[in-house]
């Protein structure tokens, strides 16, 4: 996996009480909680950081870096890519308004209108 690539989310998400979940822009109360590792990656997938920066950031969260950290993150990224929740790019990506922040920080009507204008397919 090329760790110089940028990673970015393609899904609307929510982050409440430390729990990250997928959110439905048309029904914001409707959420699907993510497993902790997936939630961390989705919440950090802002298109402005590389996979290597993700690994470095996660390594700093531990006093002793787990030997499996790199493999775990690669597996999580691969599964999120397969699920079409994260994509990779050679260059930094500017996320559209409706993907740039957790749903609770969005103006829902504005987000819905922009999704419609963009023809974006909500997952």
Q: Report the alpha-carbon angle 84-115-94, nearest 5.
A: 65
Of 101, 87, 78, 79, the closest CA to residue 23 belongs to 101
Give the mean pLDDT of the chain: 94
pLDDT of residue 122: 59
pLDDT of residue 17: 85
Tokens linked to 24: 């439905």
Spatial separation of the C-alpha atoms in residues 36 and 110, rounded to whole Å: 29
Beta-carbon count within 10 A of 64 CB: 5
Residues in the chain: 123
pTM for the model: 0.92
- Tell me what the mean pLDDT of segment 9-20 comes to: 93
- Tell me what the mean pLDDT of segment 32-45 comes to: 95
Task: Write the pLDDT tens digit of every residue in 57-112.
Answer: 999 999 999 999 999 999 999 999 999 999 999 999 999 999 999 999 999 999 99
């Amino acid at each position: 996996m090329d760790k110089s690539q940028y990673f970015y989310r393609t899904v609307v998400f929510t982050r409440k009480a430390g729990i990250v979940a997928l959110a439905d822009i048309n029904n914001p109360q409707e959420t699907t909680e993510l497993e902790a590792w997936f939630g961390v990656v989705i919440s950090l997938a802002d298109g402005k950081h590389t996979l290597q920066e993700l690994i470095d950031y996660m390594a700093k969260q531990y006093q002793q870096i787990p030997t499996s950290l790199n493999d775990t993150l690669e597996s999580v990224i691969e599964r999120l890519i397969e699920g079409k929740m994260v994509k990779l790019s050679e260059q930094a990506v500017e996320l559209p308004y409706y993907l740039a922040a957790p749903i609770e920080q969005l103006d829902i009507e504005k987000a819905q209108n922009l999704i419609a204008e963009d023809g974006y397919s909500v997952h």
